[in-house]
Structure 1
Amino acid sequence: GAFFNKFYLWKIIAAAIITLLSIGFTYYPAIIYFKIYLTFLSLITIFLFFEAVLYLKRTLTKTAKIPVFTKKALLITVIAGLITFSLLAISYSVAAETRQCLPAQADLVSTKWDCLLEQTKIFIPLSLLILICIPLLTAIANLLIYPFSYILKERRIKKASRLMQSFDGTVIGIAGSYGKSSVKEYCAGLLGQKFEVIKTPKNVNTEIGVANYIMQKLRIMNELRNDKINKLGKNEKKKLEIRNWKLEKTQETEKLRENYLVCEMGAYRIGEIKKLCNMVKPRIGILTGINEQHIALFGNIENTIKAKSELIQSLPKGGVAIINNDDKNCRSVSIPEGVKKITYGFNFDSDVQLLEIRNLKFPPEALCPPLAGDQPACAGRPLAEEIWGMEIVIKFDNIQKTMCLNSFGKHNALNILPAIAAAKEAGMSLDEIKKTVENLEPPENGMKIKTLGKAVIIDDTYNSNPTGVRAALEVLDGVNKPNKILVLDDIWELGKESERIHRELAKIISEKKYNKIILTGKNYAEFMKNELIKNGISRDNIAAEIILSGYITIDSAILFEGRMSKKYVKRIFTNP
């Protein structure tokens, strides 16, 4: 990470040189040592000063990334702080015993201030070196607590596994390089109309995250079922948000007794999804797609496929594997014997086939407008505000259905398909599914489209991956506005494939002829700029700063793509 960043290495090397020069100057007081020492010390001090000023500016403008201090993070910070202060104390001790200031050499200095100056020559560079190495010291602190945190994590996972044995419902696992959170939201929304459903929150998808969630939520549900809610204290009720999980008797009679747990599954290395599956034991597994998104973690696409497919390999006999049939990497995954396979996608041989997408714009307080030669699926449904959506035509079990979806883009149309397959597998009819789909809210972390002045703002800042960026560009192309602006962040975690993928993306963007391309990434902005220029984009059309106020007052569409672009979306709505 940051420790191996070339600028960070430059700072460490400079601090090391200053330290060596200061030691050399202390023992060999030649003027050349002193001049070089002062030069390096001045350069690194100026560099650190400007770095501090830039960070302060980002903090004041609320564009700096603020760390989240979990209990583990706080513990690591405390240990790293203790190590840092210990090293500073040692460096001070070393400086205090410099050759010029030893009692036997007291005659070499005329005053105490001369001695202090000699000590400073050692202490300042050593301190600089220690402070610059704080990320390395933090990594050491993390290694020191790893055995203890590992033991505690394993105990937590075992407790969650035992608690899952009392869960009498069906677990749906969702894995893939992209689309997991959106598919999870769609699954929970669809099944929640007929069944009792719980889902892992937000982007919780690691072993310990899922284990903590299970221990919190399933314990509450067990208390509720056993009618022991009164045994929980007031503070505990508030903390665990009991009100959100209290089941009214009327609702219990309307819903079937079967439960569903929809679990998003992520991984940083091979074996982690398998461990998650051993804990929650999914019967239905959804593989959303596999691409280069996590190559930085897994090394190559083969390892990525192996890691993501652990969900499918963990399914029991009688289980169901729902696979993205448009993704060649998903198609290559073998299905265990006795597991039912359901495919989805545009491909003609998909079990759940997406036949057509029709983009719609619903104006305020209007009804969904009829389409030429066809009555739209959402006709007659009043809408309180401007909503962008689409009509999708699907074929499942040789039955064709048209549904209205309150989301936008080809990727969202694909994301609803595995949820439809899971709902059908749960026993819902296509008519029930159609009715529910048309009332689903867009995923909280999915693409959002809003209007501001005369501009259409496309917010796709939750995450970014090669497939998602291409889909977002298609959405921008589909908006009927004469002026189009792209605000683009780097795609992260691509490893050795980063340059190739960013080069391909630059080629795609260069064919779009956007009015302005604003690059917000830290690592590949300059690379993308050069590639865009190579592909014929004028330098005048490429920028590194966000100046969009002029486009708000004219007919324009602005796509904000990638995590680092999120802060600019907030800024444009706060100060248009």
Structure 2
Amino acid sequence: MEVITLKEVLEAVEGKLVIKGETEEYNSVSTDTRKIQKGDIFIALKGENFNGNKFTINAIESGASLCIVDEICFKSEDVLNKSYIVKVKDTGKALLDLARYYKNKLNIKVIAITGSTGKTSTKDLVAATLSNNFKVFKTEGNFNNEIGLPLMVFKLDKSYDIAVLEMGMNHFGEIHRMAEVANPDIAIITNIGISHIENLGSRENILKAKLEITDFFGKDNLLILNGDNDILSTYKNNDYKLYNISTIDKSNSSFFAENINLSEKDGSFDIFEQGENKYKDFKIPVPGKHNVLNSLLAIACGKYFGMSYDEMQNGMKNLKSTSMRLDIIKKESFTIINDCYNASPDSMKAAIDVMKNVDGKRKILVLGDMLELGKESFNAHKSIGEYARKNGVEVIIAIGKFSNAYKEGFISSEDKKYFKQCETREEAFKYIENILQKRDIILVKASRSMRLEKIVDKLKNINS
């Protein structure tokens, strides 16, 4: 982070200085007293189950030189002028306002990524593709909400050329507020599925919420869309530039992939630009057709920044993927596919597609619930059971309240399929251990809160 002054902070957050301190220049921001270092700005956030204002003294004792609060939960004599105290109406808004102010001080291009699935994989691929020509920052882990995104912005400095920032959401307005902070030059929407439909009511509303990423766009901005997605394929807008990528419709695509070849570890395809073959056998170091689409989104960014296809191919070699996303772990006698980070109907199907290309015999799914699907939940889980049955899966082991939905879709009278419903992760692991055969492929996937990575950890320790 570049230095920001007390004067700039007061201007950015429209705060009132209530106690004077000693240091008026800062180069780090924290919302967590456990991570504060000497000289930091501490912003005291509030949530349903916590109130950061109550930890102001802890922050000062840990070295904070400026605290931004919206409640005074301490005695003035306890501060003893060790830290400046700035009071605002809302510390959550202050965090966003300060991040917006700070970002505007930097001469850096921003690519913002949203979508129902594929945000993080696309972020990783975009950052790698551009890395041959630029110094690129990318969102760490899942810091993609109204707290995480500004904290990522504070990690930027003038040495970076491009920032690739991920934006997630649950409700209307969230992406709008993040886009106001990041002010992206390019936005990517990976797809529109049914994740968060419980809160937003329809896929059309999900699209509307995702399109908030363009709320601050002008004629020179670019929106890149996955044209294989049914809703995105028909989207039009003349207020800014628009690229479509596809593996289905060459005639209406800015970038198109043909001659796709997939293996259990990687893939390759030919790139068509505006219908003309521009590059043969572009290689990607990740499996799955969904990653062909994600790579095309990255390629579109590279072309916007004037890169050649050879430069993008070289950049792709620098790919560093986020953990627990389609991590293929080869044991001596069986294979684990760890995809425990999150789950939606689209990402479930994508993982099963990858599983088909993994060398092995029996295909086993260990599945938990997909969350925030509302009234679509039962049918969405049932559809995954059906998809698994049609794509060669022999065994499903399910945990969670929608296990019966998986079963209804998976079990068919004419097929010899095996379904096991388990109450706990421990029960599921023991069942796998009992049925495990040589050259089995075990895909473990569910929404993050199901914590199915604990099953993966136990599977890793099986002596094979």
Give the equivalent residue in structure 2 for 1:169.
Answer: 108
Give the equivalent residue in structure 2 for 1:235.
Answer: none
Q: Which secondary structure state, in structure 1, belongs to the residue aligned with residue 101 of structure 2?
A: helix
**Shift of residue 543, structure 1, vs aligned partner:** 4.2
Instruction: Determine whether 1:345 maps to 2:223.
Output: no
Give the equivalent residue in structure 2 for 1:323.
Answer: 225
Q: In the superposition, relative to structure 1, how do residues 154 and 431 fare at CA in structure 2: closer, same or farther (>3 Å)?
A: same
> In 1, distance between residues paired with 2:381 and 2:111?
34
Counterpart of 2:272 (choices 387, 395, 408) is 395
TM-score by length of 2: 0.74
**Shift of residue 536, structure 1, vs aligned partner:** 5.3
Q: What code does the residue aligned with 2:109 have?
A: T
Counterpart of 2:356 (choices 477, 481, 484) is 477
1:459-498 equivalent positions in 2, closer than 5 A: 459-498=338-377
> In 1, distance between residues paired with 2:324 and 2:133?
24
Q: What code does the residue aligned with 1:523 have?
A: K
For structure 1, the 5+ residue unaligned runs are: 1-68, 80-144, 226-257, 362-387
Q: What code does the residue aligned with 1:433 have?
A: M
> In 1, distance between residues paired with 2:177 and 2:238?
18
Give the equivalent residue in structure 1 for 2:453.
Answer: 566
**Shift of residue 152, structure 1, vs aligned partner:** 0.5
Q: Which secondary structure state, in structure 1, belongs to the residue aligned with residue 384 of structure 2?
A: helix
**Shift of residue 173, structure 1, vs aligned partner:** 0.9
**Shift of residue 403, structure 1, vs aligned partner:** 2.1
Q: Which secondary structure state, in structure 1, belongs to the residue aligned with residue 188 of structure 2?
A: strand
Q: In the superposition, relative to structure 1, how do residues 569 and 436 fare at CA in structure 2: closer, same or farther (>3 Å)?
A: same
> In 2, distance between residues paired with 1:407 and 1:150?
46
Q: In the superposition, relative to structure 1, how do residues 431 and 460 fare at CA in structure 2: closer, same or farther (>3 Å)?
A: same
- Show CA shifts across 1:371-395 (max 9, x none): xxxxxxxxxxxxxxxxx22223322
> In 1, distance between residues paired with 2:238 and 2:366?
43
Q: What code does the residue aligned with 2:445 have?
A: E
> In 1, distance between residues paired with 2:202 and 2:108?
36
> In 2, distance between residues paired with 1:183 and 1:476?
20
> In 2, distance between residues paired with 1:335 and 1:75?
39
> In 2, distance between residues paired with 1:75 and 1:327?
36
Instruction: Determine whether 1:358 maps to 2:261.
Output: yes
> In 2, distance between residues paired with 1:493 and 1:281?
28
Counterpart of 1:284 (choices 164, 173, 186) is 186
Q: In the superposition, relative to structure 1, how do residues 194 and 153 fare at CA in structure 2: closer, same or farther (>3 Å)?
A: same
> In 1, distance between residues paired with 2:45 and 2:215?
32
For structure 2, the 5+ residue unaligned runs are: 1-33, 36-43, 53-72, 74-86, 423-427
1:183-332 equivalent positions in 2, closer than 5 A: 183-215=122-154, 217-218=155-156, 221=157, 259-332=161-234
2:262/2:268 contact within 8 Å kept: yes
Q: Which secondary structure state, in structure 2, belongs to the residue aligned with residue 403 of structure 1?
A: strand
Give the equivalent residue in structure 2 for 1:405.
Answer: 284
More strand by share: 2
1:287/1:324 contact within 8 Å kept: yes
> In 1, distance between residues paired with 2:421 and 2:170?
34
> In 1, distance between residues paired with 2:152 and 2:113?
16
> In 2, distance between residues paired with 1:279 and 1:201?
17
**Shift of residue 444, structure 1, vs aligned partner:** 3.4
Give the equivalent residue in structure 1 for 2:7.
Answer: none
Give the equivalent residue in structure 1 for 2:57.
Answer: none
Q: In the superposition, relative to structure 1, how do residues 302 and 436 fare at CA in structure 2: closer, same or farther (>3 Å)?
A: same
> In 2, distance between residues paired with 1:560 and 1:508?
16
Q: In the superposition, relative to structure 1, how do residues 150 and 527 fare at CA in structure 2: closer, same or farther (>3 Å)?
A: farther
Give the equivalent residue in structure 1 for 2:402.
Answer: 524
Q: Which secondary structure state, in structure 1, belongs to the residue aligned with residue 49 of structure 2?
A: helix
Give the equivalent residue in structure 2 for 1:120.
Answer: none
1:481-560 equivalent positions in 2, closer than 5 A: 481-520=360-399, 522-533=400-411, 540-544=418-422, 545-546=428-429, 547-549=431-433, 554-560=438-444
1:286/1:323 contact within 8 Å kept: yes
Give the equivalent residue in structure 2 for 1:236.
Answer: none
Larger Rg: 1
Q: Which secondary structure state, in structure 2, belongs to the residue aligned with residue 569 of structure 1?
A: helix
Q: In the superposition, relative to structure 1, how do residues 531 and 155 fare at CA in structure 2: closer, same or farther (>3 Å)?
A: same
**Shift of residue 303, structure 1, vs aligned partner:** 1.4
Q: What code does the residue aligned with 2:209 have?
A: A
**Shift of residue 150, structure 1, vs aligned partner:** 7.3
**Shift of residue 478, structure 1, vs aligned partner:** 2.5
Counterpart of 2:298 (choices 419, 429, 441) is 419
> In 2, distance between residues paired with 1:500 and 1:150?
44
Counterpart of 2:308 (choices 403, 414, 429) is 429
Give the equivalent residue in structure 1 for 2:23.
Answer: none
Q: Which secondary structure state, in structure 1, belongs to the residue aligned with residue 335 of structure 2?
A: strand
Q: What code does the residue aligned with 1:569 have?
A: V
> In 2, distance between residues paired with 1:345 and 1:149?
47
2:132/2:315 contact within 8 Å kept: yes
> In 1, distance between residues paired with 2:168 and 2:435?
39
Q: Which secondary structure state, in structure 2, belongs to the residue aligned with residue 401 of structure 1?
A: strand
Q: How many residue pairs are counted as aligned between the two chains? A: 376
Q: What code does the residue aligned with 2:401 have?
A: N
Q: What code does the residue aligned with 1:390 have?
A: G
TM-score by length of 1: 0.61
